[in-house]
Structure 1
């Protein structure tokens, strides 16, 4: 039986529906990053988490973090690594001008996560509920990573996952050709934009 009615009347959408009808990409690097986490099964360590931070301008992966416990502190780590490499540090207000797009997972809605973003000067931006495309940049990176190095592979432990993710991130940034970037890699597109801005 097919029906458009919700499973429970108590789970019906409340308030006005936010329709995503604008683009989520930016014209400048380090203006908005998307972040998300995925779980990957291992033989010895069970499920482990991989968190990533991906730029909305050129899909450049600024940071990843592979960890057993997918808590708020683990979710902050790829942001911290990205700030270190792209902004030069993780001190107070190092991320001013950066917006972080994320979903409504418990890691991203807790006070500790928000307080750290505030310390860094990063503006939080939540994807629309039930519209994963509004966090599509991070979602797309994770999908590509899973298709290329996760699916069809058996990982012994968290170290195997970590090595595969780091290797993929580096190859993706340097070599992954994207049509929306004129078939440049994320790193090539980023360097071209930075050169143009400096000129």
Structure 2
């Protein structure tokens, strides 16, 4: 299962889910035991205990397109040097709904991250108030506090829901994806150019939306979880 997976570092729960999808029943204790004995368990980050790590104890939503999160990360290319990735992810099905890679991570890079993504629930239409009812979680970076960014989301009808100051966990949904993007894509590649990075990152995001397994949704992929919940809402 690990060698066939399109991702690296998957844990024992996802291995067991992939086995089940192939009709192979395996005990919930047996899989982690065998992986542990053979040095195949995914690495786990150990951190100090924290207090309340979210808005009221919960940052995930029950339906798609109620709340999205956006965040940025730097990566390096050989020719252009440091570049920026901006991404947006849904807080329910955790699919990537918009992304952008640019040389500069200034106030113009942030708004360009998900212009198409922010109007995605409405067929890609880009118009005033087209995304009314959608909330956008972001941190207090200068890109997101800029007048250009705030003016754009306001024009689209999006509600700004910044994370609490000093509590980045409020934006944990998209930050978890940024970590996955680094571990599964950025850190595994030596990009020559920004254009090459865009191609590789874009391919990974397609692979992520179509193939990443979500424990919260019964090990469905983001694409399948969105389809299931959208049909239920209809």
Instruction: Tell me which interval the TM-score lies in, with the shorter structure as reference length.
Output: 0.7 to 0.9
Provide Cα deviations, 1:149-189, integer angstroms capped at 9, x if missing partner: 11132110101110111111111111101111210001100
2:216 aligned with 1:180 = yes
Alignment match, 2:91: 56
Shift in alpha-carbon separation, 1:38–1:19, aligned structure 2, 3 A: closer
Paired residue for 1:91, among 113, 123, 127?
Answer: 127
For 1:131 and 1:29, the matched residues in 2 are separated by 24
2:78 aligned with 1:43 = yes
Alignment match, 1:69: 104
Number of positions where the alignment pairs a residue of Structure 1 with one of Structure 2: 182
Q: CA deviation at 1:79?
A: 2.4
Matches within 5 A, 1:35-184: 35-88=70-123, 89-184=125-220
Q: Does structure 2 conserve the Cα–Cα contact (< 8 Å) formed by 1:35 and 1:101?
A: yes
> TM-score, normalising length from structure 1?
0.87
| Unmatched runs of 5 consecutive residues or more in structure 2 | 1-51
Greater share of helix: 1
Q: CA deviation at 1:116?
A: 1.0
Shift in alpha-carbon separation, 1:150–1:120, aligned structure 2, 3 A: same
Which structure has the bigger radius of gyration? 2
Which aligned runs of 4 or more in structure 1 are off by greater than 4 angstroms?
none
Q: CA deviation at 1:19?
A: 6.7
> TM-score, normalising length from structure 2?
0.74
Shift in alpha-carbon separation, 1:23–1:151, aligned structure 2, 3 A: same
Q: CA deviation at 1:86?
A: 2.6
Matches within 5 A, 1:2-41: 20=54, 21-41=56-76
Report the 3-state secondary structure (helix = DSSP H, G, I; strand = E; otherwise coil) of the residue aligned with 2:87. strand
Alignment match, 2:43: none
**Over aligned residue pairs, what C-alpha RMSD do you find?**
1.6
For 2:232 and 2:210, the matched residues in 1 are separated by 19
Instruction: Say which is worse superposed, 38-47 or 152-161, in terms of deviation.
Output: 152-161
| Unmatched runs of 5 consecutive residues or more in structure 1 | 1-17
Shift in alpha-carbon separation, 1:126–1:84, aligned structure 2, 3 A: closer
